[in-house]
Amino acid sequence: MKQALFKKIQQITEQNLMDIEAHKEKGNHVIGFYCLYGPTELAVAADAIPLPLCGTRQDPIDAAEEVLPRNLCPLIKSSYGFAATDTCPFFRFSDMIVADTTCDGKKKMFEIMSDLKPVHVLQLPQNQVPALSLGPWKAEIETLITVLENRIGRQITPEKISAAIRLMNRERQAKKRLMDITRANPSPLTGMELVEILFKTGFFADKEKGIALMDEISDVCLTLIEQNQSPYTNTTPRILLTGVPVGLGSDKVVKILEQCGANVVALENCSGYKQAFQVNDTIDPVTALADQYLAIPCSVMSPNPGRMEMLREMIPAFSIDGVVDLTWQACHTYNIESFQVATLVQDDFGLPFLHIETDYSESDTEQLRVRIQAFIEMI
């Protein structure tokens, strides 16, 4: 059953580029987003397709390093490299980019990227205290609405934003339902399967198609659970991966963990559970967007209690046996925050903890394998 579903995902993925092209040929637009803090609802409200653009592959990094420093986060270099080499169709399709000041490396890279494509940078507050940050952040979203209206030539009304919130809430609900499937022990999905599904469906131009497909996968997985069909047993070590985002191409730690006999059942990052939120659709839509998006628990926030709260909820909910904290090289906020995560995991839950700092290359694969194998043996 799963094999047929993954074939269907691939078919839709191949059709998706043609869907985006057809959308643009009708005079519609595509908006690229580089971070979870960008409110994609505004693009949907303008009848545009929102596309995630963070780079997850090693291939374009050499080209990026002709402009950017080598000792920079691989996600930033990969993102810029794809743009500079014109090898990412989703960047090419984007009429403009919505970026943000999450970290110093990104915001300076976006200055250079603006020579390649129109870029609007949201000035993200660095704390989540509503009295200090909600007003300025709401003003940033209101400015973005004006920028999008001028760029696209369509009015973004409160009614359209509310409708977009309801649609995107349904998509996030479908993602959460899919991610919650792996609470079952044993899980019917491998961690790599989960990464692939979340990554590929994130690019779908047709949101309804993506929602329907994720629900179909969840339904099949529930049947597999009832039939006790799984690639694992109930003694397979269950791993929670926290830290930086992962996608196809930046998934080597997930691969190695599962090659070493574990199952990555939970992703606490912005490519995983961090995006499983719901925006309040009963109040002023701009206020609702500002409030919910500001609450995203990224390490760029200081302090960042939301991440610890999410980990406290996820570790027992997914019956976790060990936690791996992944940091990309030169990602200082996640690197420093790892100390707090280790304290929580070890002191509050008494679980094995492993912090990995790496990049997208395969050069340290065997070193990582040795460390990860030792970690799994501890469990």
| Mean per-residue pLDDT, 17-31 | 95
- Name 88's Cβ contacts closer than 8 Å, sequence gap at least 6: 53, 55, 60, 82
pLDDT interval class at 273 (50, 70, 90): very high
The pLDDT assigned to 2 comes to 82
The pLDDT assigned to 128 comes to 97
pTM: 0.97
Tokens of 239: 């791993």
Give per-residue pLDDT as tens, 66-120.
999 999 999 999 999 999 999 999 999 999 999 999 999 999 999 999 999 999 9
Give per-residue pLDDT as tens, 305-319.
999 999 999 999 999
Above 80 in pLDDT, residue 301?
yes
The pLDDT assigned to 191 comes to 98
The pLDDT assigned to 3 comes to 87
72 burial level (CB within 10 Å; 0-12, 13-18, 19+): buried
Q: What are phi and psi of 356, to 5 degrees?
A: -120, 125
Give per-residue pLDDT as tens, 57-71.
999 999 999 999 999
pLDDT interval class at 150 (50, 70, 90): very high
pLDDT, the chain, mean: 97
- Name 313's Cβ contacts closer than 8 Å, sequence gap at least 6: none
Give per-residue pLDDT as tens, 218-240.
999 999 999 999 999 999 999 99
Closest CA to 184 of 239, 217, 237, 221: 221
Where is pLDDT greater, at 2 or 9? 9
The pLDDT assigned to 54 comes to 82
The pLDDT assigned to 341 comes to 98
Domains and their CATH numbers in the chain: 26-157 (3.40.50.11890)
222 burial level (CB within 10 Å; 0-12, 13-18, 19+): middle
* Contact in structure between 281 and 166 (CB atoms under 8 Å): yes
